[in-house]
Amino acid sequence: MSYFVTGTDTGVGKTLVSCALLHAFAAQGKRVVGFKPVAAGCDEDDHNEDAKQLREAGTVHATYGQINPYCFPHPIAPHLSARHAGSRIDFSRIFASYDELAGQSDEVIVEGVGGFCVPLNEKQDSVDLVKQLDIPVILVVGMRLGCLNHALLTMRAIADAQIECAGWIANVLDADMLAMQENIDTLRERIQVPLLGVIPYQSQPDAREAAKHLQLAPLVKEESDV
* Residues designated as active site: 36
Q: What is the layout of strands, in order, in the sheet containing 195-199? A: 32-35, 107-111, 2-7, 137-143, 165-172, 195-199
Question: Hey, what amino acid is at 60?
Answer: V
Contact partners, residue 167, CB within 8 Å, separation at least 6: 138, 139, 193, 194, 195, 196, 218, 219
CB 35 within 8 A of CB 109: yes
Beta carbons within 10 angstroms of residue 123's beta carbon? 8
